[in-house]
Chains A and B, each alone.
Chain A
Amino acid sequence: MSMLYHSQRAMRAKRQEALRRGVIAILDIGSYKTSCLVLRFDSSDELLAADGVGAMAGQSNFRVIGAATTKSRGVKFGEIDMVQETECAIRTAVQAAQKMANMRVDHVIVSFAGARPRSYGLVGEVSLQTGTVSESDVASALAACDLPDIGEGREVLHAQPVNFALDHRSGLKDPRGHVGNRLSADMHMLTIDSHAIETILRCVKRCDLELAGIASSPYAAGISSLVEDEQELGAACIDLGGGTTGVSIFIKKHMIYADTVRMGGDHVTQDISQGLQIPAGDAERIKTRFGGLVATGMDDRERIELESDTGDWEHDRRTISRAELIGVMRPRVEEILEEVRAILEDAGFDHLPSQRIVLTGGASQIPGLDALASRILGNQVRLGRPLRVQGLPQSACGPAFSASVGLALFAAYPQDEWWDFEVPADRYPARSLKRAVKWFRDNW
């Protein structure tokens, strides 16, 4: 646990350094694509109010100066499967983004979807020494959370305090300065398989980059594609990616739950490829060109040629109707959405005050998905696109980039995590000299 604490703190320190230097790279390693954004932070606000554009929800202090996307290699279910191949993909993306930015980046924040994320809700409670809540009280409340058994080979990815309660008052965002007797903190903890982090660390290191942060891609997608009131009132973001579908639930601007379905757009492509007996590349092309989920009478008449080059005339000259294609795609998408519904039910999404569901990610661009999703998940479904940030090229504005944009926002406006607070003195090892120093600092 303390190992993780230190490594997370080290990453936070690197992120601070990168922000001081003003340049940081965002790397979203997905199953289908690997995209890299280079962000430049500057204190001077280039966007003036006179432009007729508002503060853009406070997103104007950074600017995307380089963006590159490449096809992912060696990634399966959002996890790195072949290290060398993934490294190649990362190199390709980073190099192109650096070239566009005309600037070298050394620090990178990575997000990925896989590695079986699991959410835990923790509660910690302390009685206050002085009556007024101070930052150290918050830290000790967080430290008082009893850690559940997260299992062998699992690591904590996020541990964010989401709610504070003081005596009988709950729902405090910032308890500091309040007066009370007992402070309790609710914390959301997300764990993932530790080997995934190690592999990513290795990949990034082999690309001569330094890991300045790591985030779960459902979380990042939620940050960028949920609008402010959805995050406040409660909403679920469903990031339909290539290999996985991430689900993250937000309320009061905090993520309270995240999980993934290990199915995504690639599986739809795979179904088409298997069902129609065509190569995967053709299947991908047909899916993006003609794909859909709701068949109409018109679709029976629209023929799609399945050209191939085997030499068998009968095989090479097949055509199917669009309705048939829809018939292949729909069951898989339904299956994904059913899984999502199961996850939402597990998470208790029904009990949230608002049950907004936002579909985003590359696979959310299938025509008719919103209709199908509203039938399965409920009425309040909309398709989401990431927030617009400065300098992002048009090609990277689509829903497939919501995790990347969210990660950029994550870099610019990080949420408090457990390790951002000082460790209470009594949690230090007894031998620590730091403890003595801290005692002196606190008391003199």
Chain B
Amino acid sequence: MRPLIRRRQAHDPAPSRWAYRVQRLWLTPIFRSVLRVGVPAFAVVALGGVYISDPANVLRLQDSVAELRRSIEDRPEFRVNFMSITGASPVLAEEIRATVSPDFPLSSFDLDLEGLRRRVENIRAVSVAEIRIRSGGELAVTVTERRPVLVWQAREGLWLVDAEGERVAPLLARPDLDYLPVIAGDRANEAAAQALALFETAEPLGERLRGLVRMGERRWDVVLTDGIRIQLPETDPAPALDWVLAQDDAQELLDRDILRVDLRDPSRTVLQLTPDALAELRRMRETEILGDHQG
């Protein structure tokens, strides 16, 4: 009889019950996927959670990340050393430099280009600004200046105004620009485009034209050097002015002894004469009446 008590022989090829079960378990797909994906994922998450639960560790982590970031940002490849400004007059360039004054050298990661652009464009004389970092550590600022086309006599002083009515600079800063046409009146700058069109129409007046005055923020008066005012209507002022100029050409209207040409009501043109002329007119009418009586 063979021994009934089982003694394990070293060379038994059969797997033990437990080895067999473990192998079967290992061949179970769900167990396998859990063990190969689930358990490592859980371990990673758990370890990460334990590490993060200590605030000192979080600080250290943040510090090291910041340090790493700084070490990359501080590389000479990313350094910006100087600023170049193109498209601006020297005065404006000085102003831009005064406005945007980063302390070079600094890293290009620290530059807020959008913010810089906004700050440069906030300068009145700048229409469009473009800021970029060029190779060689150059901060290139390309500026399109506003071109002053009008002088606006506002309550707070004289302003240079561009074609869109934006104020460019106070006139005192640029005293050499007095050849520009002059407008006056409250918020006259907002109708700059209309004013320019009127100035073009009023070209034949030449030196006699003194400027335009915005009346009641709605219509224009043309003021001539000898005190004559042409009061233009609110709508279609240019044809009205054209009409006046044509009358001037034909009948020398503006050379006569008048104070105002009132075109505000398009159906009715009113001329205001000077007091002398009015008196003369009356005298002439009286003599006419007398002559009639005599005749």
Contacts and interface: CB of A to CB of B under 8 A. Distances in A.
Contact of B17 (A82, A91, A98, A104): A91
Contacts of A82: 2
Given A98-B24, A207-B20, A208-B21, 7 more contacts: A82-B2, A84-B6, A94-B20, A98-B23, A103-B27, A104-B29, A208-B24
Contacts of A102: 27
B20 A70 contact: no
A82 B15 CA distance: 17
A40 to B, nearest CB: 14
Contacts of B14: 73, 88-89, 91-92
Interface in A68-107: 70, 73, 82, 84, 88-89, 91-92, 94-95, 98-99, 102-104
B13 A70 contact: yes
5 contacts: A82-B2, A92-B15, A95-B15, A98-B24, A208-B24
A426 B12 CA distance: 55
Interface of B: 2, 6, 12-15, 17, 19-21, 23-24, 27-29
B12 A88 contact: yes
Contacts of B15: 91-92, 95
Contacts of B6: 84
Contacts, number: 35
Interface string A189-227: 000000000000000001110000000000000000000
A89 B13 CA distance: 9
A88 B24 CA distance: 15
A98 B27 contact: yes
Contacts of A88: 12, 14
B20 A104 contact: no
A91 B24 CA distance: 11
Given A84-B6, A104-B28, A95 B23 contact: yes
A90 to B, nearest CB: 9
Given A84-B6, A91-B17, A104 B12 contact: no
Given A84-B6, A91-B17, A104-B28, A99 B12 contact: no
Interface residues of A, number: 18
A95 B28 contact: no
Contact of B24 (A70, A73, A84, A104): A104
Nearest to A101: B27
Contacts of B28: 104
A92 B13 contact: yes
Nearest to B21: A208
B284 to A, nearest CB: 121
Contacts of A99: 23, 27
Pick the most buried of A70, A82, A84, A88: most chain B CB atoms within 10 A of its CB: A88
Nearest to A206: B17
Nearest to A98: B27
Nearest to A93: B14
Contact of B27 (A89, A92, A104, A206): A104
Nearest to A84: B6
Contacts of A104: 24, 27-29
A98 B28 CA distance: 11
Contacts of B13: 70, 92
A91 B20 contact: yes
Contacts of A89: 14
B22 to A, nearest CB: 10
Contacts of B27: 98-99, 102-104
B217 to A, nearest CB: 86
Closest 7 CB pairs of A and B: A88-B14, A104-B27, A92-B14, A91-B20, A95-B15, A104-B28, A104-B24
Nearest to A92: B14
B24 to A, nearest CB: 5
A203 to B, nearest CB: 12
Contacts of A84: 6
A103 B29 CA distance: 8
B4 to A, nearest CB: 9
Contacts of B12: 88
Nearest to A91: B20
A385 to B, nearest CB: 28
A70 B29 CA distance: 26
Contacts of A73: 14
Interface string A370-402: 000000000000000000000000000000000
